[in-house]
Chains A and B, each alone.
Chain A
Amino acid sequence: MPETHIQTAFDRDLEAIQALIMKMGGMVEAAITDAAKALETRDEALADMVRGNDKAIDELETRVNEEAIRVIATRAPTAIDLRTVVSVMKVSGNLERIGDYSKNIAKRATVLTQMSQIHDTAPAIRRMAQAVELMLIDALDAYIKRDAKLAEDVRLRDAEVDQMYNALFRQFLTYMMEDPRNITGCMHLHFIAKNIERMGDHVTGIAEQVIYLVTGTLPEDNRPKNDRTSFQKALEE
């Protein structure tokens, strides 16, 4: 199919919205890295910066939605164009949530700097954050390249993030049982790990939107889920 519309202004509109998504994606990627780094290096200034930057991400989401609504109203998009407009709205929602989770990690990182370090859990959390960030980079890459195969790959990789979360969950549980003074810190760390696990789900959502955009249908099979903490007994009573 030819790539361009007869009305070139339509192409410009669609490109402009997708450029906003990419800009948002870049900001969210940075937020994930910086939040994890602030936690590991106990860098309060960096954590503050992540918290401050979230506002810009939220504003971009609003703009993406406004632009998408304008295109729907003025251009009545159909087929691939319609799927593009619908997907940018969903992807921007996913990105905005990931931004919120990063902000929350930064907030907890600030609290954690006031406490003594609990064992050496920060590198494991950073690795988990890195895995999610790489997934996000690939998901956005798949979006721009309209690559459903890459998106499917991203979608399956979420299982690894779930596994990392399970491992951390057990680790925190052990530390809390060892010494009740660890509870406050571990609770914060656990929420951080949970936030990253949720980010993985949102990246998966983006990957699914790519598949919908390219093929016109959402993947039907249930992707493998490895977050089993809800079934784990809290304590071996």
Chain B
Amino acid sequence: MDDMRIVERQLDQQELKIKADNVQVYYGTSHAIKDVSVEIEDKTVTAFIGPSGCGKSTFLRCLNRMNDTIDICRVEGQILLDGENIYDKKVDPVQLRAKVGMVFQKPNPFPKSIYDNVAYGPRIHGLAKNKAELDEIVEKSLRRGAIWDEVKDRLDAPGTGLSGGQQQRLCIARAVATEPEVLLMDEPCSALDPIATAQVEELIDELRSNYSVVIVTHSMQQAARVSQKTAFFHLGNLVEFGETGQIFTNPVDSRTESYITGRIG
């Protein structure tokens, strides 16, 4: 496919950011992820699609060890971030999650002011030397979250007082405030209206120039719009992984085709 975006991508030769090898995930006895190997490139938006319960969110959560918090969850295999195994005992999950940020499906602002929601991460990671720098980070992050104009006059108001869509954009601002290298997004727009969705998608595309973004979405059109690579999961298997244009015009696997065209599969 001579998609313009590919041509663009081939120009700035992609580096590998995350490499997953034969990853298996079990919840107790249930085998949720079956032998998934995938390579996620830097400066690329990768979309995970698939029916509910196919394992895409589970796999996404493996990428910053969010599954550690679930007792019955067991992860096997290897996930390398910049060549280092993130499941190595030496790796501090808190440091890892500063590098691999996450935005969830349901907005979950801290019960603090809008300002403190965004300033929290930079503060604990010591990213700002003084108040002026912190102010700058907060403003920049809120702008990137496409919410600055709506909240600039009430930064002291509680984050929980915002509307659902605004809360989600606040969470995105919070996630980008620590300048992560990888941003994981689990259905980030399911609670947003079309305008806010477009703003978030624009933000995702902007983030792509510096970071690697992995997004789980149920909206096929969103995956097609924002991603350069698409992975289709089905029943815990990675069925097909390829260039987004190819997946949406000429998928190789019939299960992918059934799913994206809305046929019973």
Contact = CB atoms under 8 A, between A and B. Distances in A.
A230 interface: no
B251 A79 contact: yes
Interface in A1-34: 1-7, 10
Nearest to A212: B250
Nearest to A75: B262
Given A78-B224, A79-B249, A217-B250, A7 B261 contact: no
Interface in B104-121: none
A79 B262 CA distance: 10
A123 interface: no
Interface string B105-143: 000000000000000000000000000000000000000
A81 interface: yes
A76 B221 CA distance: 8
B264 A4 contact: yes
B260 interface: yes
A78 to B, nearest CB: 5
A4 B260 CA distance: 13
Contacts of A80: 257, 261
A79 B248 contact: yes
A82 interface: yes
B261 A79 contact: yes
B89 to A, nearest CB: 44
B251 A10 contact: no
Tell me whether chain A's interface is mostly helix, strand or loop, or mixed.
loop
A73 B174 CA distance: 36
B263 A5 contact: yes
B220 interface: yes
Interface residues of B, number: 17
Nearest to A217: B250
A52 interface: no
A82 B258 contact: no
Contacts, number: 47
B10 interface: no
A216 interface: yes
A13 to B, nearest CB: 12
Contacts of A81: 261
A2 B264 CA distance: 6
Nearest to A83: B249
Given A216-B249, A216-B250, A217-B250, A79 B257 contact: yes
Contacts of A5: 261-263
B29 interface: no
Nearest to B260: A78
A216 B248 CA distance: 11
B249 to A, nearest CB: 6
Q: Which of A5, A7, A10, A80: most chain B Cβ within 10 A? A: A80
A2 B224 contact: no
Contacts of A79: 248-251, 256-257, 260-261
Interface in B213-265: 220-221, 224, 248-251, 254, 256-258, 260-265
A96 to B, nearest CB: 25
Nearest to B264: A2
A217 B220 CA distance: 22
A7 B264 CA distance: 10
A93 B261 CA distance: 25
Contacts of B258: 1-2
A80 B263 CA distance: 11
Contact of A78 (B248, B264, B265): B248
Interface in A44-82: 76-82
B25 to A, nearest CB: 28
A78 B220 contact: yes
Contacts of B224: 78
B265 A1 contact: yes
B218 to A, nearest CB: 14
A81 B220 CA distance: 14
Contacts of B221: 76
7 contacts: A1-B257, A1-B265, A2-B264, A3-B263, A79-B251, A79-B257, A216-B249
User: 9 shortest A-B CB distances, which residue pairs?
Assistant: A216-B250, A1-B254, A78-B248, A78-B260, A2-B263, A2-B264, A79-B257, A81-B261, A5-B262
